[in-house]
Structure 1
């Protein structure tokens, strides 16, 4: 089984957009896939179909499975630890790591994705970040960046801290940011600085498929 951690250089950059496209492209090749987002905030239980867990579930071909995709769901669109506290809950890194390991141990698929919340250094608990979860799991990282002005600094910083934890960056995907410099321009800039991992682009166009990403990763 190929397992990856999908991380972002920041929040709302397109991690789920990329993860869904990767799952769909892998399924189109006959691969068995699954996805897990251990905690999600900004979840509206009155409109679950609009949530990241629901999007991932649809990409799996199991739209009813969003509860399984994200077992820890909180309403407030805030950092998970704060959103959890508002509902009387306390997130602990040991629990999140245990959730992910247990989920992985029960998968019998060709490709399994675990998607983080927010950016690499976004808080997950009161004392730990996404990077701490990534480090504990030790999975290869699919790092998603935007194409906005300033993305080079954010991406290169994320690459430094991820690799400083001895994590392998399996690929970098630049997800097209709206109202930003051209995607091709951003790609050319980033290719001048990143030479170790495959660097691919993810246009927002509905016709985009992640076939090249499957080739690079699986």
Structure 2
């Protein structure tokens, strides 16, 4: 099984957009896939169909399976630890790690994706960040960046932090930001500073074909 952790250099950059396109492209090659987002905040139980878990479930071909994709769901659009606390819950890193390991251990698929919440250094619990979860799982990282002005600094900083903790970065995906500089020019600039890892463009178009990314990750 090929498993990857989808992380972002920040919040709302398109992690789920990239994950969904990757899942659909892999399924188009008749590969078996699955996805897991261990915790999600900003979840409206009255409209689950617009949530990230529902989008991932739809990309898996199981549109009603969003509860299994994300077992820990909180209403407030806050960092997961704060959103959990607003509902009288306390998130613990040991529990999140156990959830992910149990899920990974029960998968027998060609491609498994674990999607984080927020950016690399976003708080997940009162004492740990998204990066701590990534390190505990030790999966190769698919790092999603934006294309806005300033993304180079955020991406290069995230790369330094991730690599300093001993994690491998399998690929970088530059997700197109709205009202941002030209996507191709942004990628050309990023490649001048990061030559060790492939950088793939992810246009915001819903029909974006992630087949080249599947080929890159799975061969």
TM-score class, shorter-chain normalisation, is over 0.9
SS at match of 2:166: coil
**Aligned pairs (5 A) from 1:105-120:** 105-120=105-120
Following superposition, the deviation at residue 208 of structure 1 comes to 1.2
Which residue is 1:66 aligned to?
66
Question: What is the rounded CA distance, in whole Å, between the counterparts of 2:172 and 2:116 in structure 1?
Answer: 15
- Give the TM-score taking structure 1 as reference length: 0.99
SS at match of 2:193: coil
Structure 1: give runs of 5+ residues left out of the alignment: none
Which residue is 1:173 aligned to?
173
Following superposition, which runs of at least 4 residues in structure 1 exceed 4 angstroms of deviation?
none
Which residue is 1:85 aligned to?
85
Which residue is 2:39 aligned to?
39
Question: What is the rounded CA distance, in whole Å, between the counterparts of 1:184 and 1:28 in structure 2?
Answer: 26
- Over residues 9-29 of structure 1, what are the superposed CA-to-partner deviations in whole Å (9 max), with x where a residue is unaligned? 000000000000000000000
Which residue is 2:24 aligned to?
24
Which residue is 1:215 aligned to?
215
- Over residues 111-136 of structure 1, what are the superposed CA-to-partner deviations in whole Å (9 max), with x where a residue is unaligned? 00000000000000000000000000
RMSD, aligned CA: 0.4
- Give the TM-score taking structure 2 as reference length: 0.99
**Aligned pairs (5 A) from 1:186-201:** 186-201=186-201
Which residue is 1:202 aligned to?
202
**Aligned pairs (5 A) from 1:141-156:** 141-156=141-156
Which residue is 1:133 aligned to?
133
Confirm whether residue 164 of structure 1 aligns to residue 164 of structure 2: yes
Question: What is the rounded CA distance, in whole Å, between the counterparts of 1:108 and 1:188 in structure 2?
Answer: 37
Following superposition, the deviation at residue 196 of structure 1 comes to 1.0
Alignment length, in residue pairs? 218
Question: What is the rounded CA distance, in whole Å, between the counterparts of 1:152 and 1:208 in structure 2?
Answer: 23
SS at match of 1:84: helix
Deviating more after overlay: 143-152 vs 198-207: 198-207
Which residue is 1:97 aligned to?
97
Confirm whether residue 2 of structure 1 aligns to residue 36 of structure 2: no
SS at match of 2:109: coil
Question: What is the rounded CA distance, in whole Å, between the counterparts of 1:49 and 1:211 in structure 2?
Answer: 26
SS at match of 2:172: strand
Following superposition, the deviation at residue 205 of structure 1 comes to 1.4
SS at match of 1:209: coil
